[in-house]
Structure 1
Amino acid sequence: MLDRDRLVAGLREAVERRDELGRLMADPEVLSDLPRLKELAREYSGLARLARAAKRHFKLLDDLRQAREVAAETDGELADLAAAEAAELETERETAEVELRRLLVPKDPLDDRPAVVEIRAGTGGDEAALFAADLYRMYARFAAESGWEVELVSTSEGALGGLKEIVFVVRGPDVYGRLRFESGVHRVQRVPETESQGRIHTSAATVAVLPEAEEVDVEIDPADLKIDVFRSSGPGGQSVNTTDSAVRITHRPTGLVVSCQDEKSQHKNKAKALRVLRSRLLDRLVAAQEAERARERRTQVGTGDRSMKIRTYNFPQNRVTDHRIHFTSHRLEAILGGDLGEVVEALRLAGVEERLAAGAG
């Protein structure tokens, strides 16, 4: 944890950097360089909130100093009032410092990336496929409420309206930063629609959230790719396209396979599949780095372990539990309905606290 002197020094550095960025962005040479201007504007925007919080913090410290001086230099009712004010300001200062420490944690450069989300039905047969469809609707509604866009890449439908697998891209501000901790095994406990005896079953689906990769992140040698084309099909093998527009790409060095059939154009399906493949390759690098950091700091949240059971949705108890941070909510229907903000924010803050602890260590 940052001590107070380091906190104040970090705040002053952030304010100075923000002011420097403001001057740089007004430079004619920078204004003519759009890529650099965009990069500086992104950094400036990130520091603006911290700078505003720093300004409030310094004013709070000044008010606290004055209240303490009055309490020490006077007596009677005025001293009592000043002491009471100082106590309130001290409480405000402690709360403000917690938030400032979070804001001072360097932002992961991948947080602003779009997210490639892959949901696959796990154990549980048709019920698992139905649960996978529930998870997709949850994320799609959360994305809509957040002002994000969802682009389907591929779907594989199951029986009863379920999904064996679905891959989609979510675009918008801070998408990967907010969804990254959704990766892992999600478990549901409920009475399936097909259960005539009323028994509770446990089923599961896996979620993988990958940062969308740019071409500069991962270089793919075309010679390493095996590309197959085939006809798109719907549930039960029903043909939905009479041309060989669906694409399957195999990355020989890693064995990764990506299929895409949602577009009628083979070219568009190939482009989508390559984007997903590139993101999976980048995700492997990120997951390895996170796993290494996790071993160093005994983390619970950002391990990059896709096989880890992270959350249970218990219908009989109307309960959602995230096992990594011991978070429990009895708003199961609302959460599955897309009201995921409380869970996402709790995980984000837990991740920040881990990074703060690692920095202090």
Structure 2
Amino acid sequence: MENGYILEIRQGIGGDESIYFLEDLKKMYIKFFQKKKLNYKILLNLEKEIVIELENNIFDNFLLNESGIHRVQRVPKNENQGKMQTSTCSIFLKKNTKNDNFILNNKDLKIETCKSSGSGGQHVNTTNSSVKITHLPTKIFVECSDERSQLLNKTKAIKILNFRINKFLNEKKNLDTNLNRKSIISKSERSKKIRTYNFQNNKIINHLTNTNCYQLNKVLNGDLDILFKN
């Protein structure tokens, strides 16, 4: 999807609760895309990291403001004493324009295949469909095993690798700018948060505009327009 976006969601501070929150954010964005009839493709779907490719749309300016630390305040599922916990996830969203795409040189790539693990049936476990591609100059690598086809996994891995190398090069080139991912989501520091999801009060705090929204349930159900209007 040229001239679209790459959306990355990563686990931050908070252990298992951060992983649960990551899943909540993934569902929130996907429901939003579906309600707006936007084309999207999940490139990477891991426990601690989600990467989604998204077509260009009318919400450009709003979506770019999603990058940063998203914080959640709630009682975890495994908390027996009812104690509230604060956890975080990091969001990084970048325009995926053709001119930005780093051109990979095949001689710089180390491609490895192996049998996929986990659920998926006998077919997945008996074919060398899982692909790991390492970019030797930067040591950046990607592993993909979501698809049964080795070719599809390789295609996904190349696309994600392009994204990660571009991100790495942009960070290196723009160390002193706000576009630098390290300055946006470094170590998922709570001080760099842009939004807080407070379940106890059904409230979302937008730290960029210093406004509150008391429709948390609707927002998590994909109604992001509520936040974009504030």
Q: How would you bin the TM-score normalised by the shorter chain?
A: 0.7 to 0.9
The alpha-carbon deviation at position 164 of structure 1 amounts to: 2.4
Instruction: Tell me, yes or no, if structure 1 residue 133 matches structure 2 residue 133.
Output: no
Q: Specify the code of the residue in structure 2 equivalent to 1:259.
A: E
Q: Specify the code of the residue in structure 1 equivalent to 2:30.
A: A
Instruction: Tell me, yes or no, if structure 1 residue 243 matches structure 2 residue 127.
Output: yes
Over 3 Å counting, the alpha-carbon distance change for 1:169 and 1:175 in structure 2 is farther
The alpha-carbon deviation at position 292 of structure 1 amounts to: 4.2
Matches within 5 A, 1:103-114: 113-114=3-4
Q: Specify the code of the residue in structure 2 equivalent to 1:198.
A: G
Instruction: Tell me, yes or no, if structure 1 residue 232 matches structure 2 residue 116.
Output: yes
Tell me the number of residue pairs that the alignment of Structure 1 and Structure 2 aligns. Answer: 220
The alpha-carbon deviation at position 239 of structure 1 amounts to: 8.9
Indicate the structure with greater helix content.
1
Instruction: Tell me, yes or no, if structure 1 residue 180 matches structure 2 residue 59.
Output: no
Distance 1:214 1:330 in 2: 39
Distance 2:60 2:117 in 1: 31
Which structure is richer in relative contact order (CA contacts within 8 A, separation 6 or more)? 2
The alpha-carbon deviation at position 340 of structure 1 amounts to: 0.9
Residue 198 of structure 1 corresponds to 82
Indicate the structure with greater strand content.
2
Query: Unaligned regions of 5+ residues in structure 2, if any?
Result: 187-191
Percent of aligned pairs with the same residue?
37
Q: Is the CA contact 2:195–2:205 (under 8 Å) kept in the aligned structure 1?
A: yes
Residue 45 of structure 2 corresponds to 155
Over 3 Å counting, the alpha-carbon distance change for 1:267 and 1:240 in structure 2 is closer
Distance 1:244 1:176 in 2: 39
* Secondary structure at the counterpart of residue 182 of structure 1: coil
Deviations 1:296-354 (A, max 9, x none): xxxxxx664222322211111222122233232111111111111233455xxxxxxxx
Deviations 1:270-307 (A, max 9, x none): 1111112212233345556776455xxxxxxx664222
| Higher Cα Rg, which structure | 1
Deviations 1:126-183 (A, max 9, x none): 2211111000000001111222122121222xxxxxx322222122424654422222
Residue 189 of structure 1 corresponds to 73
After superposition, the CA RMSD in angstroms is: 2.7
Q: Which of these residues, 139, 142, 145, is aligned with residue 35 of structure 2?
A: 145
Residue 115 of structure 1 corresponds to 5
What TM-score results when the alignment is normalised by the length of structure 2? 0.82
Residue 327 of structure 1 corresponds to 211
Query: Unaligned regions of 5+ residues in structure 1, if any?
Result: 1-111, 157-162, 295-301, 347-361
